[in-house]
Structure 1
Amino acid sequence: MFFFYQSMKVSKYLKTRFTTLFLSKQELKNSINLINPFPILKQLNWLQWQYFMIGFLAWSFDAFDYFAVSINVSRLALEFNKSITDITWAMTLVLMLRSIGSILIGYFADRYGRKWSLIGNLLILTILQIGIGFVQNFKQFLAIRAIFGIVMGGMFGVASATSLESSPKISRSILSGIFQQGYAFGYLLVIAFQRAFDQTSKTWRALFWFSSLPPSLIIIWRLLLPENEAFIEQKLHFKTQNASFGKDFIKIFKKYWLKMLYMIILMTGISFMSHGSQDLYPTLLTKQLNFSNDESTITNTIANLGAIIGGILFGHFSGLLGRRFAITICCIFGGCLIYPWAFSFKNVGINVSVFFLQFFVQGALGIIPIHLSELSPPEFKVFVSGTAYQLGNLAASASSTIESKIGEKYPLNSRLHEEGVYNYAKVMSIFMGCVFGFILIVIILGPENRNGEINFKLTNDELLELQEEGILRTINHEEEINVVIINNDKILNHDDKYKLEHCENS
């Protein structure tokens, strides 16, 4: 009887996958006023903008650190006397170890707060960036990149929570698109600064040394701001429910395990799509197509401009179209662009193709922060969304190595190419076609919790109980600012969501 009931539930769920893919007429009517993003963005106050920018920049320099290797694959191979496949293994190693960091940082961020988790993460990254500029052999390089992988793995969850959690619900779709394009922005910064440091004697080493400075400034900025309000609400929730982090996690896991598994599968496809179209592409341009450094820089810049525009637009319009439908559009149109992206050997053709392919690739990625956030249990949002993101990266960690290894089976022996140059275009186009098809199936069959949000509002009785126990008391109640003390930790609540009028005299 149990299995019959479960099969009926599965059957009903599958029947609704296409009907729920599109918005209802009423939803479309309600969403029509949200087309213009500028009034939506005006709803953020100055503190919320600072939170967003800190998370965005932290995510951007996470990308800077990663792509600093991607854009220097050929130089690093020459420096350490290794093959391109050996260097892409270092990139694979980073992706493989990120899930460890997402678990560790996610745990601390959900239990102890977003602020110090982000600061600690950035501090270790800064130290490692300085150290990598001094490595003398490939083993040292691999060792530091392995540690990088663990530390960088915690960045997505805590940075996205910092950027999005405290923002008004109506603005989170477009902010999700902007936030995710911090990765493309980081790629653009790498391209620009690498060209500048190419004029120095240290080239790639100078790039790594430079990359340690901006995170240091982000740390100082974050130190000046209070803890996120969303975490304050979460902490109060645990206090009032007399809950423990461990017991609640077990209960949540039993309830959400299937949805968590789906998130990991989705992120596996999304990670294959992103890294499969980006990591080896500079090598394709310079080695197979004989692009000069300047031509390669222009093409990669155009690709990332397309990525930024696509991510922002699809992030915003996913609030109108629905998360699943918007990603479906990206997969269909992205698949149509594979051939010109891989086989347009003239500069103009390849620049147009790479712009629009990354427009749709990063368009889908721009929806991911808000989509994962909505699907995650609110008590463990950083842990679940960050771990799903990085386990997907783990599953897709070998994408560049797979492409380069298979590419070695298709050598290009002609007067235009040196020995040891391979047909990366052929391999990457087949690879990307399979990935787009996989994501299309997963997203159509998957769940959606459009416009879901954290809700840890406290009732008057709960607030009075906290007051009686001495856990919570109001120190200063003004029109826009509350100062709340939780176990001697002073927290500024700038949005004044609690409105603790009944606690004014405590």
Structure 2
Amino acid sequence: MTAAHSLHSIVTSKSEIKDHNKHIVKPPVFTTKSIANYFLSRPTTLFPSREELSQYEWSDVYNPFKSLREVSLRQWNFFFIGFWAWTWDALDYFTISLNVSNIAADLNVTVKDVSWGLTLVLMFRSVGAVLFGLVGDTKGRKWPYIINLLLLSVIQIGTGFITTYKEFLAVRSLFGIAMGGLYGICAAEALSDAPRNARGIMSGIFQEGYAFGYLLAVVFQRAIVDTTGKWQNIMFFSAGVSVIFIVWRFFTPETDSFIKQQERISQEAESDRKTKMKELKSQARKAFKQYWLISIYCVLMMAGFNFSSHGSQDLYPTMLTKQFNFSADRSTVANVCANLGALVGGIFFGHMSTFIGRRFGIICACVLTGVMIYPWGFKPNAGTVFVFQMGVQGAWGIAPIHLSELSPPQFRTLVVGTSYQLGNLVSSASSTIEATIGERFPIAGAGKGVYNYGKTMAIFMAAVTLYLMLIVFLGPENRGADLGIERDDYYDEEGLDDLDDDLERKKTSDNDDYSLENTKANAKHEEVVNVEQKV
């Protein structure tokens, strides 16, 4: 589709065609002029123009539910399929980080040793992202989703039966592969069919499935582990719940965007007399040529995001109990407040990114994080952790839709999932780094094995926050781009004036018809009045 006249049925003005064309991703050009122009445009494109802002009303900004009314029941169904699997994926992960001390005592190893289990999960997730991402983009997202959850359930059960440290490391490595394939699939399920105006807030809600999973893990940790005294029980519990989502997905078809993508690829394969596989390879070469530099940026950005989340969360429960002597109840309250703050921040900044831009929204959230680092690390309480995680997860709330808009539509699952998990790979040693550095700062008189984790984590988070702000400031943005396979179709702008003339004539014709109907109605009304007066 290249001619403007073929768009009559889907556009209302030439401005929509121009808006579509400006979101097309072109292969990078490395001339001195193009590089200079790009970096000069970073500050000027950080905030949306007045023209873009004029499209919205104030009610769109302060009423986030207004845009959610555009979401159909079918779209909500796919959103919650993605949201709940991602939520439970996070819960499965945090069942280990909340039991680092318990597992260390059970296996007769140190906290640092157990933290390597968290590191291995993060390292192997990129393997799962590539494997399941390729299958999801080419064959469909239904079965990769189901297989992922089945594997996670089996591995969680296996974790509950380990008796040695080697077994622990082995099952966590397998868990990383299974976990790695789920994020890209869940993000595609949740956001692919979302209306444009609702994408920001839906991205925020979806991403905070991570925080909600952490919140649920904290609650079930208190209800199951702290009452039974066995950390294995929460593993068995989490494995059972996944069956609900597996059955739900089994009876749900593919998303509309994926169905259209498959139809489009089949049609192009037939027209070029190719097999479907050859057409996919052709699409892959084209996407790589256009998106390779953006993909590198996505990995660098996600490294910063993952350093921020794992650096602020994985060892935080250990810090509260070991360094600040929080009781089980007080630690639970602090962690619950942290995740409530994350939920609020993710939804708020995700929604605001629709109006202030993805990059600017992330930077604003990072500023909030930076302001709260000192009280979060040195004077932790329910209030400081709430606001701090508003900033950390507020930035994260924008990540899913920002990644989706930057990724090639026909390989979105692969690129979103792999970028996220390669970022995880880069940041995989976060907890181990913090645990190792923390051992250099023992707290005098506090006993053996008590270290100043607060100081270590505060320095770590300051560096990570500055890095994330810089990389996002320098990076690209494609806010409002189509998420369907038609994203990079160029629509010929020649004859757009004719298109507008046609639309104007149609509008004038409609107005004339309306005026004629009104004239006839008024005449009939006057006739009735005259008759009544005569009577």
Counterpart-to-counterpart distance in 2, 1:263 and 1:178: 21
1:362 maps onto 2:389 in alignment: no
Of 256, 259, 272, 2:307 maps to 272
SS at match of 1:135: coil
Counterpart-to-counterpart distance in 1, 2:334 and 2:482: 39
Amino acid at match of 2:464: V
SS at match of 1:431: helix
**Contact 1:284/1:425 (8 A) holds in 2:** yes
Equivalent residue, structure 1, for 2:60: 34
Equivalent residue, structure 2, for 1:293: 328
Equivalent residue, structure 2, for 1:483: none
- Cα deviation per residue 1:409-460 (whole Å; 9 max; x = unaligned)? 111121xx221111111111110110011011101100000011224469xx
Amino acid at match of 2:286: K
Counterpart-to-counterpart distance in 2, 1:131 and 1:442: 40
- Cα deviation per residue 1:442-498 (whole Å; 9 max; x = unaligned)? 01100000011224469xxxxxxxxxxxxxxxxxxxxxxxxxxxxxxxxxxxxxxxx
Calculate percent identity across the aligned residue pairs. Answer: 48
- Cα deviation per residue 1:344-386 (whole Å; 9 max; x = unaligned)? 15xxxx2211111100100000000000000000110000011
1:240 maps onto 2:267 in alignment: yes
The 5 A counterparts of 1:437-452 are 437-452=466-481
Equivalent residue, structure 1, for 2:33: 8
SS at match of 2:322: helix
Equivalent residue, structure 2, for 1:198: 225
**Contact 2:225/2:234 (8 A) holds in 1:** no
**Contact 1:286/1:292 (8 A) holds in 2:** yes
Counterpart-to-counterpart distance in 1, 2:30 and 2:137: 36
**Contact 1:276/1:399 (8 A) holds in 2:** yes
**Contact 1:376/1:384 (8 A) holds in 2:** yes
Counterpart-to-counterpart distance in 1, 2:192 and 2:229: 41
SS at match of 1:212: helix
**Contact 2:192/2:484 (8 A) holds in 1:** no
Equivalent residue, structure 2, for 1:500: none
Equivalent residue, structure 1, for 2:520: none
Counterpart-to-counterpart distance in 2, 1:235 and 1:76: 47
Cα displacement (A) at 1:197: 1.1
The 5 A counterparts of 1:33-432 are 33-35=59-61, 36-201=63-228, 203-242=230-269, 244-344=279-379, 350-414=381-445, 417-432=446-461
SS at match of 2:134: helix
- Cα deviation per residue 1:39-80 (whole Å; 9 max; x = unaligned)? 211222222111111110100011011100010011011010
SS at match of 1:241: helix
Gaps of 5+ in 2: 1-27, 270-277, 488-535
Q: Give the aligned CA root-mean-square deviation in angstroms.
A: 1.5
**Contact 1:328/1:443 (8 A) holds in 2:** yes
* Matched positions, count: 450
Amino acid at match of 2:477: E
Cα displacement (A) at 1:246: 2.4
Higher relative contact order (CA 8 A, sep 6+): 2
SS at match of 2:443: coil
Cα displacement (A) at 1:258: 0.6
**Contact 1:413/1:419 (8 A) holds in 2:** no
Counterpart-to-counterpart distance in 2, 1:357 and 1:144: 33
Gaps of 5+ in 1: 459-506
Larger radius of gyration: 2
1:22 maps onto 2:44 in alignment: no
Could you tell me the TM-score, scaled by structure 2's length?
Answer: 0.82
Distance 1:11 1:457, change over 3 A: closer
SS at match of 1:413: coil
